[in-house]
Amino acid sequence: MIRQPITSRQRTAIGLLAIVLVVAVYTGLMLRQKHRFPNDTTMPNATQFAEGFKKAFQEDEFEGERWIIMDSVATGRRVLLGMLIGCVIAVVLGVLMGSYPRVSAFCETLLVPISSLPVTALIAPFFVVFSPGETMFVAMIAFVVIPMLALSISLAVKDIPDEYIDRTYTYGATSAENIMDTIVPTVLPKIIDGVRIQMALAFIAIIAAEWIIADVGIGFRLRIMMRQMHMNVIFIYLAELGLVTYLLNRGLLWLRRKLCPWYLPQGGE
């Protein structure tokens, strides 16, 4: 039956089954590759993964810090600052666009085409405008996040029934009070969901930019390791990225449940 609900235990079991299936497929492909090429490093085995783990945690000869910690801190700082700035601007723009048709007409003309630009195409102009550095990475992430998040928030605001807004006006509220007391709380779950979606885009942007320009960061390390064919290190970094984004996603879901206990998303979580 379509949309038939499942229990949390069933959801966990199905999720574990998916992980087991992926591991089984990888193991089969890895054994086949090792059988044909015993010294192959493109699909590491357990021993090679252990070596990659040690290499990822070795100290950098110049900085004196461990690779994975140094790179993770650099990338995390850029993503955090960029997301923070981008989300604040997007929330303000989205609420205003959804509340005032004139603002919507003005902003959508700019945001819709910008939101369609490929992330990698933005690296060159940001490189020229800001020059390589932390400012460039933060500004690029914020620029990538703003259009789609603002447009999605605007649509959520427009979906609010007029009766809710008119009822607040009948109580003597001003437009600013209506926005803060009615509109923002109503669309808060959609804002959090929008941040969850844009978080993935922010990581894509920073990895692509670091791959090309940076001298520290996860994208930079992936580029260096790819040139040296250290796939065991690359998989360690990818596993870390997957774990971090998963934990961030779960954290935002927890925040949504705490701030919006009345919100019941369709299809579960």
60-78 confidence digits (pLDDT tens): 766 667 888 999 999 999 9
What is the residue-averaged pLDDT of the chain? 89
Query: Which band of pLDDT confidence, cut at 50, 70 and 90, is reported for residue 210?
Result: very high
Beta bridge partners of 66: 59
CB burial of residue 129 (10 Å; 0-12, 13-18, 19+) = exposed
Domain for residue 50, yes or no?
A: no
Report the 10 Å Cβ neighbour count for 220.
Answer: 20
Residues 4, 7, 11, 13: is their CA dihedral positive or negative? negative
Distances (CA, A) of 29 to 45, 48, 178: 11, 15, 59
Domain for residue 152, yes or no?
A: yes
Domain for residue 182, yes or no?
A: yes
Domain for residue 125, yes or no?
A: yes
- Rounded to an integer, what distance in angstroms lies between the CA atom of residue 120 and that of residue 131? 16
Report the 10 Å Cβ neighbour count for 206.
Answer: 27
Q: Which amino acid is at 19?
A: I
Query: Which band of pLDDT confidence, cut at 50, 70 and 90, is reported for residue 148?
Result: very high
Query: Which band of pLDDT confidence, cut at 50, 70 and 90, is reported for residue 219?
Result: very high
Domain for residue 85, yes or no?
A: yes
Report long-range pairs for 229-233 (Cβ below 8 Å, ≥24 apart).
229/41, 229/42, 230/41, 230/52, 230/55, 231/41, 231/42, 231/43, 231/44, 231/52, 232/41, 232/44, 232/48, 232/49, 232/51, 232/52, 232/53, 232/55, 233/52, 233/55, 233/56
Cβ atoms of 155 and 227 within 8 Å: the answer is: no
**What number is the average pLDDT over the span 126-155?**
91
What is 11-70 written as a DSSP string? Answer: HHHHHHHHHHHHHHHHHHHHHHHHHH-TT--SS--HHHHHHHHHHHTSBPTTT-SBHHHH
CB burial of residue 263 (10 Å; 0-12, 13-18, 19+) = middle
Residue whose pair of structure tokens reads 């600052």 in the numeric block? 81
**What number is the average pLDDT over the span 220-243?**
90
Residue whose pair of structure tokens reads 């090792």 in the numeric block? 34
- Rounded to an integer, what distance in angstroms lies between the CA atom of residue 7 and that of residue 269? 11
Structurally, the chain folds into a number of domains equal to: 1
Main-chain phi, psi angles of 66, to 5 degrees: -75, 140
Instruction: List strand residue ranges (DSSP E) for 51-157, in order.
Output: none
181-206 confidence digits (pLDDT tens): 889 999 999 999 999 999 989 999 99
Domain for residue 204, yes or no?
A: yes
Cβ atoms of 144 and 78 within 8 Å: the answer is: no
Domain for residue 123, yes or no?
A: yes
- Rounded to an integer, what distance in angstroms lies between the CA atom of residue 95 and that of residue 179? 8
Q: Which domain holds residue 167?
A: 79-259
Main-chain phi, psi angles of 59, to 5 degrees: -80, 140
Write the CATH number for 191.
1.10.3720.10
**What number is the average pLDDT over the span 24-48?**
86
pLDDT at 117 over 60: yes
Domain for residue 73, yes or no?
A: no
